[in-house]
Amino acid sequence: MAPITSSREEFVSLFAWICCQRKSSKSNKTPPYKFVHVLKGVDIYPENLSSKKKFGADDKNEVKNKPALPKNSLHLDLEKRDLNGNFPKTNLKGGSPPDLENVTPKLFSEGEKEGVSPDSLKSNTSLSSEEKQEKLGTLFFSLEYNFEKKTFVVNIKEARGLPAMDEQSMTSDPYIKMTILPEKKHKVKTRVLRKTLDPAFDETFTFYGIPYTQIQELALHFTVLSFDRFSRDDIIGEVLIPLAGLELSDGKMLMNREIIKRNVRKSSGRGELLISLCYQSTTNTLTVVVLKARHLPKSDVSGLSDPYVKVNLYHAKKRISKKKTHVKKCTPNAVFNELFVFDIPCESLEEISVEFLVLDSERGSHDEVIGRLVLAAAAEGTGGEHWREICDSPRRQIAKWHVLCDG
């Protein structure tokens, strides 16, 4: 009986060893890479596009051994943060300087420390009382190009002297969105800092695969916003930085710019929307076809919008149904051709209204309303006329162009 007992023990030991090996091999596997707009506490490193992308690598030597990226690829790399996902605190002064103006960017060699105080960039030029009232604060940031890795590095340091967007608490919850133009699809944003008018972000964004010769053709667009939990985020202002003429070959460049009021759309209008409606009295349904939009105004400095249309059905001022079209990329003249059928809860259209909202798709934040249209019995202009026509002519599809109004 002793040999049998011994063989069983050997089998159990072998089985335990195999299980440990499998568990060890699984633990060494890195989960598949997923793009995250802003990922706290995790570093994202680029790899060759032909291989699977991974995230969560902590070993610096592992990053160095990874293959180089193709020139035409563009990837996002976030700087390391602490275990809680926060950046190290900087000892920057909280008070906003009274007199700041756009100044010539200051050059720093690679050997200098990153935590240079922006106070050295103050301007002695005084502002008039009107300019001080309209002042929206100052944005501090740095630019750098790494020739070895072909990476463009933007560090959003802080903003000072922001206006209070919350009238009750007299403060703001600011964050910053940054876009590389003219390629509007490359967008990043900082985290939201609560209840402060002098937020210290100190967040670094690294873009891979950008040749240095291409830098001169790009521009950076910063949008400063205040987070609002219950409605659309408030836009404080914007900063536009053309990169043409900037010599990033000399090292890190520390800059500051005054935040200006966002470019308001011209009074030429919000564009037009072509829609077709048909009321089926027998089935008590309303068929809505969103056909086209044209002459949509630009949503930002890139001059292009990513429009889509939301359709809301109201009964006695209460929304009972909603639909939306697909997003059309980078166009002021969109063709949708999408049909929606709504069930009407009453026998007539007297208490029914349809709202059309044309929005600009913004990844990672609230979409901005480009224009609005309401069709109802009490609506004015073409909205009322179109509604009366479909009520008077059931089972007939009637299409009309409508001028959009403010959202």
CA atoms within 13 A on the CB side of 161: 20
Q: How far apart are CA 161 and CA 259, in angstroms?
A: 10
214 vs 325 pLDDT, higher one:
325
**pLDDT confidence of residue 208:** 86
Q: How far apart are CA 341 and CA 289, in angstroms?
A: 9
**pLDDT confidence of residue 254:** 93
Q: How far apart are the first and last CA of the chain?
A: 88
Average pLDDT over every residue of 143-153: 89
**pLDDT confidence of residue 210:** 84
Average pLDDT over every residue of 313-326: 94
CA distances from 222 to 199, 217, 362 (A): 15, 17, 14
132: part of which helix (H) or strand (E)?
A: helix 129-134
62: part of which helix (H) or strand (E)?
A: helix 60-64
The backbone torsions φ and ψ at residue 276, rounded to the nearest 5 degrees and listed phi first, read: -130, 135
**pLDDT confidence of residue 289:** 96
**pLDDT confidence of residue 122:** 39
42 vs 133 pLDDT, higher one:
133
The order of strands in the sheet holding 334-343 is 334-343, 285-294, 272-280, 398-403
**CATH architecture type of domain 137-261:** Sandwich (2.60)
**pLDDT confidence of residue 292:** 94
Q: How far apart are CA 5 and CA 87, in angstroms?
A: 59
The answer to whether the CB of 243 falls within 8 A of the CB of 216 is: yes
**pLDDT confidence of residue 14:** 72
Average pLDDT over every residue of 310-320: 93
Q: How far apart are CA 90 and CA 92, in angstroms?
A: 6
Asked if pLDDT for residue 291 goes beyond 50, the answer is yes
Residues of the chain with CATH 2.60.40.150: 137-261, 271-404
Residue 73, classed as helix, strand or coil, is coil
Asked if pLDDT for residue 256 goes beyond 90, the answer is yes
Average pLDDT over every residue of 86-96: 46
Asked if pLDDT for residue 390 goes beyond 70, the answer is yes
Asked if pLDDT for residue 22 goes beyond 70, the answer is no
Question: Using 50, 70 and 90 to split pLDDT, how confident is the model at 4?
Answer: low
CA distances from 317 to 313, 321, 347, 375, 376 (A): 9, 12, 17, 13, 11
**pLDDT confidence of residue 148:** 86
Q: Which CATH class is domain 271-404?
A: mainly beta
* CA angle, residues 258, 261, 267, in degrees to nearest 5: 150
Asked if pLDDT for residue 248 goes beyond 50, the answer is yes
Q: What DSSP state is assigned to residue 33?
A: P
Question: Using 50, 70 and 90 to split pLDDT, how confident is the model at 234?
Answer: confident
**pLDDT confidence of residue 265:** 44
Report the percentage of the chain scoring pLDDT > 90. Answer: 37
Q: Given CA atoms 168, 172, 173, 178 in this order, what sign does their dihedral have?
A: positive
Q: Judging by DSSP bridges, how do beta strands 151-160 and 234-242 pair with one another?
A: unpaired
**pLDDT confidence of residue 262:** 75
Q: How far apart are CA 171 and CA 160, in angstroms?
A: 13
Q: How far apart are CA 405 and CA 62, in angstroms?
A: 55
187 vs 141 pLDDT, higher one:
141
Asked if pLDDT for residue 73 goes beyond 80, the answer is no
177: part of which helix (H) or strand (E)?
A: strand 174-181
14 vs 251 pLDDT, higher one:
251
The answer to whether the CB of 291 falls within 8 A of the CB of 277 is: no
Asked if pLDDT for residue 126 goes beyond 80, the answer is no
**pLDDT confidence of residue 6:** 61
Question: How many residues does this entry show for the chain?
Answer: 407
